[in-house]
Each structure stands twice: as C-alpha cells, then as structure tokens.
Amino acid sequence: MNYLHLLDYAGVAVFAATGALAASRLRLDIVGFIFFAAITGVGGGTLRDLLLGKLPVFWIKQPLFIGICVIIAVLVFFTAHLVESRYRLLLWLDAIGMAAYCVMGAMIGLEYGISPYAAIVTGISTATFGGIFRDVISGEKSVLLSDEIYISAALLGATSFVFLFSMGVPQIVAVFVGVLLAFGLRAAALLFGWTTPRYKPRQGRKIK
Amino acid sequence: MNYLHLLDYAGVAVFAATGALAASRLRLDIVGFIFFAAITGVGGGTLRDLLLGKLPVFWIKQPLFIGICVIIAVLVFFTAHLVESRYRLLLWLDAIGMAAYCVMGAMIGLEYGISPYAAIVTGISTATFGGIFRDVISGEKSVLLSDEIYISAALLGATSFVFLFSMGVPQIVAVFVGVLLAFGLRAAALLFGWTTPRYKPRQGRKIK
Amino acid sequence: MNYLHLLDYAGVAVFAATGALAASRLRLDIVGFIFFAAITGVGGGTLRDLLLGKLPVFWIKQPLFIGICVIIAVLVFFTAHLVESRYRLLLWLDAIGMAAYCVMGAMIGLEYGISPYAAIVTGISTATFGGIFRDVISGEKSVLLSDEIYISAALLGATSFVFLFSMGVPQIVAVFVGVLLAFGLRAAALLFGWTTPRYKPRQGRKIK
C-alpha cells in the first residue's frame, strides 16, 4: 500500500460520505445510507473501469472499497445531526473527492495505455459521475449544475496531472499538483463564489 | 431449461410489467411501453453483466429476454385499465422481481468466480437498478426511496442465499430460501407498512 | 474515411449540439457546455460499446470524437442566442442524430456478430440513450416521453436497415433507407404532430 492507495481510499470515503449525507436528506434507513454511500463512493470509479474495459470493476476485485462505504455510511447515520449544515459539508467532501478522482481516473487511464486526451476525459468522468449518480437517483439538482466552478476544476486537475506526468515529472509530484489545483479551484469557488463566464440567455430573435 | 431459467424469465417478466405500468402512467404509445418494459426488465441484469465483464450482455446473446419484454408490454398495454390500482400492482410485481433478481444476481456473480461479499453487492445491484432506471427515466420518485423496507429486503435475500450456498446447502434450497426471505420481508413491508429505523432529521446546531 | 465515418461524425456532432443547447438552457459555463455536448454526443455510442463489450469505448480509441464535441460546444456557446427557438433546434438536431445512430448502432452490432434482433435493440439503445443521459442529468422531461413519435422512428430505422442488409441489399443502400425512414417519420411527427395511439388512461374500477 502506497500513497496512491491512500488517495484512492480517501476519494471513496469522502464521496461515500456525501452519498450518506444525501441519504440523510431523504430520511432513509441505514441500509439506504449504505446504498447511497456505495453508489456515490464507487460510482465514478465503476464508470471509469467500464469505459476502459477493466472488468470486473475494481470493487468486485477488492471488496474493501465497499467495506469503506459501509463504515462511512454507519458513521454518518449516527453523527449527521451534529453538523451545522449538512449540505455545506457535502459540498466540501465532494470537492475533496472530485480532486482525488480527477487525478486518479486520469492516472489509471494512462496506466491502462490510453492516450493523454482520453485520460483527461476519463479523469473528469471518474470525478463527476459518482456525484451525478447520487444526485440523479436522489432526485436533487446536480451539484455540477450549480453556479460555482465545478467541472472546470476537474478539468484543471486532470489536465495538469496528465501534462506534468507526460513531461516526465515524477508521478507523486504530478499527482500532488493535480489534486491541489483541482481542490484549490473548487475551494475558491465555494469560498468566494468564483464563477466562470456563463451563457447569457437573451431573448430569441422572434420576440422584439 | 431448469428452474433457474424459469426464475430468470419470471424476474424479467415481472420487472418488464412494472416498466409497462410506468409507461401507462406516462401515457406512452405501445413502442414506449416496450421501451420501458425492456429497460426495466433487463436493466438490472445488464448492469450485473457490465460490472462482471460478462459481455456482450445476456439479452444480446439470448434475444428471447427482449421477446418476453415485448409480449408483456403488449399485454399490459391492452389490459392495464382493468387493474384497480396500477401503482399497487407495480409495487407487488416489483417485489417479486426484486426477490428473484437479488438471488439470481448473486448466484451469477458466484458462478463467475467473484467473492461472496462482491456477489452480495452484485445481487443487490441487479435487484434494484432495473427499477432505478425505470423511475429515473420516467421522472418518478424512486420506489427505493419510499418509506417501506426495500433495499434491506434485497440485502437479506442476497446475503442469505450467499451464506447458505457457501455453507454447502444445495443450490435449489439456497435459492428458494433467499427468494422467499427477500419477498417475504418486502411483502410484509407492503402489507403492514414495516419500516426500519430511519434517519431522524433534527435541526442543525445553528438554529437554537 | 468513408461515408460511414461521416455519418458517425455527423451523429456525434448533432447530438453534441443538442447537449450544448441543453447546457444553454441551464446557463452553464463553456466547460459545462462541453460536458453536456460530450455526454450527449458520445453517450449513446458509449452504451452500445458497453453492451457489446467492445472496450475501451470508441472515444477512448479515437479522441477525435471528443474533439468534435468540444468544437460544437464552443460554437453553440457563442451562437445559441442567434437562434429563434433553441428547443425547436434541439428537437431537429436530435432527430438527425437519432436517425444516424439507430442505423449506426445496429450496423456496428451486426459487424460485431450479434443476431439481427439484438442488433435492432442495440441500434435503438444507441439512438436514444445519448438524449436520455442529456435529459436526465439536466433534469428535463425526456424528449422520448413527448407526445410525438420518437422511439417508433428509431425502431423503424433500425429494423428496416437490419432487414434490408440481411436480405443482401448493399450496405450503403440499407443505411440510406434506414436513416431516411427514421428521420422521415420523426420529421413528420415534428412537422405535423404525428402521434401513435397512446395508452388511454381510464379510471380504475374502484371509482364508479
């Protein structure tokens, strides 16, 4: 076990926690908490493995990942009421998970031999789809559609990692920079309300 | 063809019927009925095959499964108005399908050589995602999020089957017990409103 | 590169445009436009490759497809306000994409050696799921659930292609007829409001 495994477990754990927090909003029972924790925790990585054809998916080979989701779900079930704002906590944990996964997804793609461009897309997919599954199944508006920068942060993290790693920068440095940039941008968006220029809807030409 | 094939066909058929019932609520045409019947009928098993890497998925190899969905969809299209409460019927058919699939999914996982823990998760995924696809695409609140026990029943069925089968109990007995426990628990939940202790939302600490 | 590649690129491009138009409705930033363009543009083909087990999925092998989505997203971001009715445009582009993909999906299935029946289902899946992903993630009512003929057009296109091709008709003719029939039926539905007989909800027998 090296630092990459830790990053992987951390990514699963924080995403699992956001799934459990979503379950708390839905007032599910403890099995529902586990269900949402697992879907969110391993959802992005499952999509990554499917896209790559790296099957069976990772959590079938290493059930420990599901175990982490179970533990986190139980913890959240009994402690979520202690938190002042569960949605705020969800957003911050989601930010950590996104930062860890956009780099992990890209790296596993590169190790699997896909092109740098495809690795960036795979990284972004890994980072975003756990949250998409959580939000779609729980019937909430997706965090990705909020005003603050989200997908751009995953794009920044995955791209900077892939660029640095392809330039020959040691893996640990490239990983560190990628995760930090992704998290930093998302954190700034959450703290300072950073947004990117958004599509400005104007009235169609019909209405004068 | 043995009893397992029958169980498999039965699971597809009842889930397909719930999909067609959802289509009736959306007032779709007959092709829409078939579409929803197929998504719900083979959706869970499709996810199972994807997760395992057992590709192409089962209904590509055996198109009879799609044929079953077509027949069921046509039947429901012409008979759904005879039913007193279509939602009630949907819930009961869904309960049968869930019970059949949580065991079938776990069994196919074990046959494919995955660990007992992963087989339980695969079983639960198989049992729940057909319904999730149906509910998400039709824009309804998912049956899984209702108050009555649902995912716990799939967990019970998959776990008891995997446990008994791993203990050396004959397959047919383990299957029978697993299906019966899953269906029994869900049926009790539907009949008597059984629920499990749910997350009790309290106000955050901010508001005093 | 032959006419089939052109059809494939065209299908990705028009679906990507519908994804970007959906992003414009959500007032996303340019990365959000790219995200939705990519999900919609390559979503159906991704599902097709997953179902067939043709992995890694096509856009990992040929990143040009993602490049097309990026270009289309940028174009739409800067020009969508010029359009009188963005939803109307979305529907027409979606019709082209659906027509191209129901045939492409079925053809790739046949080339992969699956049965004609399974190829039809694969074609319909390819044609419809890009739009389903777009609509589900953006939280809109799915285009497939609208009153006008949609899935039936994909069924017609896929079936006629598979039938003609299996009869020995030259591929280019079978493709042409399939695409034309699918697009023609959907276009007629959009222009003249064509619908198929829909399920007529009557009150359940309880209420007299």
Contact across the interface for C85 and A204, Cβ inside 8 Å: yes
**Higher local confidence (pLDDT), B62 or B85:** B62
- What pLDDT is stored for residue B203 in this prediction? 52
Q: What is the DSSP string of C43-109?
A: HHHHHHHHHHT--S-HHHH-THHHHHHHHHHHHHHHHGGG-S-HHHHHHHHHHHHHHHHHHHHHHHH
Contact across the interface for A35 and B124, Cβ inside 8 Å: yes
User: Which whole number is the average pLDDT over C63-84?
Assistant: 90
Contact across the interface for B144 and A32, Cβ inside 8 Å: yes
Minimal CA separation from C78 to chain B, in Å: 31
Q: Which two tokens stand for residue C20?
A: 């970007």
User: Which whole number is the average pLDDT over A147-160?
Assistant: 91
- What pLDDT is stored for residue B208 in this prediction? 39
Q: Is the pLDDT of residue B156 over 90?
A: yes
Q: Is the pLDDT of residue C171 over 60?
A: yes
pLDDT in tens, C19-42: 999 998 888 989 999 999 999 999
A189: chain C residues, CB-CB within 8 Å = none
- What pLDDT is stored for residue B158 in this prediction? 97
- What pLDDT is stored for residue B198 in this prediction? 76
- What pLDDT is stored for residue B49 in this prediction? 95
User: Which whole number is the average pLDDT over C100-117?
Assistant: 94
When the pLDDT of each residue in chain C is averaged and rounded to a whole number, the result is 89
How large a percentage of chain C has pLDDT more than 70? 95
How many Å apart are CA C100 and CA A152, to the nearest integer?
Answer: 31
User: Which whole number is the average pLDDT over A64-79?
Assistant: 94
pLDDT in tens, B99-114: 999 999 999 999 999 9
The amino acid occupying position C69 is: C
Contacts of B143 (CB under 8 A, 6+ apart): B90, B91, B94, B131, B135, B150
In the block, which residue shows the tokens 């896929």? Answer: C158
Contact across the interface for B199 and A28, Cβ inside 8 Å: yes
A68-72, B163-167, C31-35, C146-150: which range is least confident on average?
A: C146-150
Note which residues in 103-142 of chain C have CB less than 8 A from chain B.
109, 112, 114-115, 117-118, 121-122, 124, 128, 132, 136, 141-142
Minimal CA separation from A57 to chain B, in Å: 6
**Higher local confidence (pLDDT), A83 or B38:** B38
Minimal CA separation from C131 to chain A, in Å: 15
How many Å apart are CA A138 and CA B150, to the nearest integer?
Answer: 15
Contact across the interface for B151 and A35, Cβ inside 8 Å: yes
Contact across the interface for A199 and C80, Cβ inside 8 Å: yes
C139: chain B residues, CB-CB within 8 Å = none
Measure CA A143 to chain center.
11
User: Which whole number is the average pLDDT over C172-194?
Assistant: 93
Contact across the interface for B117 and A86, Cβ inside 8 Å: no
User: Which whole number is the average pLDDT over B56-75?
Assistant: 94
In the block, which residue shows the tokens 């956009």? Answer: A102
Q: What is the DSSP string of A154-194?
A: HHHHHHHHHHHHHTT--HHHHHHHHHHHHHHHHHHHHHH--
Q: Is the pLDDT of residue C50 over 70?
A: yes
Minimal CA separation from B155 to chain A, in Å: 8
- What pLDDT is stored for residue C208 in this prediction? 39
A87-91, A201-205, B74-78, C83-87: which range is least confident on average?
A: A201-205
- What pLDDT is stored for residue A117 in this prediction? 94
- What pLDDT is stored for residue B207 in this prediction? 42
- What pLDDT is stored for residue C207 in this prediction? 42
How many Å apart are CA C197 and CA B160, to the nearest integer?
Answer: 46
Contact across the interface for B115 and A29, Cβ inside 8 Å: no
Is the CB of B60 inside 8 Å of chain C's CB atoms? yes
> What ipTM was predicted for this assembly?
0.91
In the block, which residue shows the tokens 């009961």? Answer: B92
| Residue C23: Cβ-neighbour burial (10 angstroms; 0-12, 13-18, 19+) | buried
- What pLDDT is stored for residue C193 in this prediction? 82
Q: How confident is the model at residue C55 (pLDDT cuts 50, 70, 90)?
A: very high
Peptide bond into C56 cis (omega under 30): yes
B85: chain C residues, CB-CB within 8 Å = 204, 206
Q: Which residue among B27, B32, B60 places its CB closest to the CB of C118?
A: B60
User: Which whole number is the average pLDDT over B172-180?
Assistant: 95
pLDDT in tens, A101-145: 999 999 999 999 999 999 999 999 999 999 999 999 998 888 888
- What pLDDT is stored for residue A105 in this prediction? 94
pLDDT in tens, A21-56: 999 888 898 999 999 999 999 999 999 999 999 999
How many Å apart are CA C58 and CA A163, to the nearest integer?
Answer: 23
Q: Which residue among A53, A63, A136 places its CB closest to the CB of B117?
A: A63
How large a percentage of chain C has pLDDT more than 90? 68
Contact across the interface for A117 and C59, Cβ inside 8 Å: no
